[in-house]
Amino acid sequence: MQIIVKDKGVNLSEDLKNYTSNKFSKLEKFFKKIIEVQVVLSKSCAKKTKQIFSAEVTIFAAGSTIRAQESSEDLRTAIDLVYDKLERQISKYKEKLVQRHRNLISENFLVQKGDEVVHENNENKIVRTKRFPLKPITPEEAIIDMELLGHNFYVFINSQTMDVNVVYKRNEGGYGLIEPEK
C-alpha cells in the first residue's frame, strides 16, 4: 500500500508526515487490497485571525474508491476526524456487502485513477472534465460505489446488458436506474 501525503499551503513537518502515514496505514486492516491512499492537507483562513485546516483522503482499493474530507482549527484533529469518517464509511460498505451475501471483495476488479482536467477558462459552461475507466458491474455494485464516493449519480457498464447505465439518488428516497433504449 502506498500512502501519498500532499500539502497545499501547509508546511508539513517530518513529524506530521509520519503521523499521517502511520494513521492511514492502519486502514489496511479494513481492506486487504488497498492500492493507494492519497492525503491532501490544506489551510484556509475563515477569518483574519482564524485558520481552518482541511484533510481530504482518497483511497483506491481493489474494486472501490472511497473519499472523505474533514476540517478543523487543528491539523491533527482534522486528520483524526477524516480517519474516523473513513472507518464509518468502510463499516457501512462492509454491512452492505454482507446484506447482499458477499463475503469477499472480488480481486478481479482493479480501479484505476481517473484523469481529471480542470479547464482554466471559466467562460465556458463546462468547468471540469473527468475521464475514468468504465468497468462492467451490476447496478447494485454501482450503488455501493456511488455511496462510497459520496456522489448523487454513477456511470457504469451494466454487466448483464453491456450497455452504459446511470444510477442516481432520487429526491423522494431510493435509487433510479437510467438505461438506453434499444
Q: What is the DSSP track for 44-96? A: EESSSS-EEEEEEEEEEETTEEEEEEEEESSHHHHHHHHHHHHHHHHHHHHHH
Domain span including residue 151: 115-178
> Does the predicted model carry a pTM greater than 0.75?
no
Note whether 179 and 142 are within 8 A (CB).
no
**Segment 44-77, tens digit of pLDDT:** 776 666 788 899 999 887 677 888 999 998 889 9
Domain end position, chosen among 99, 125, 156 = 99
Taken as a whole, the chain contains a residue count of 182
Whole-angstrom distance, CA of residue 166 vs CA of residue 125: 22
For residue 87, what pLDDT band results from cuts at 50, 70 and 90?
Answer: confident
Q: Both 94 and 11 in a single domain?
A: yes
Q: What is the DSSP letter of 7?
A: E
The CATH number of whichever domain residue 119 belongs to comes to: 3.30.505.50
Amino acid at 146: M
The CATH number of whichever domain residue 82 belongs to comes to: 3.30.160.100
What pLDDT is stored for residue 40 in this prediction? 92
Average pLDDT over the chain, rounded to whole?
79
Q: Both 141 and 53 in a single domain?
A: no
For residue 80, what pLDDT band results from cuts at 50, 70 and 90?
Answer: very high
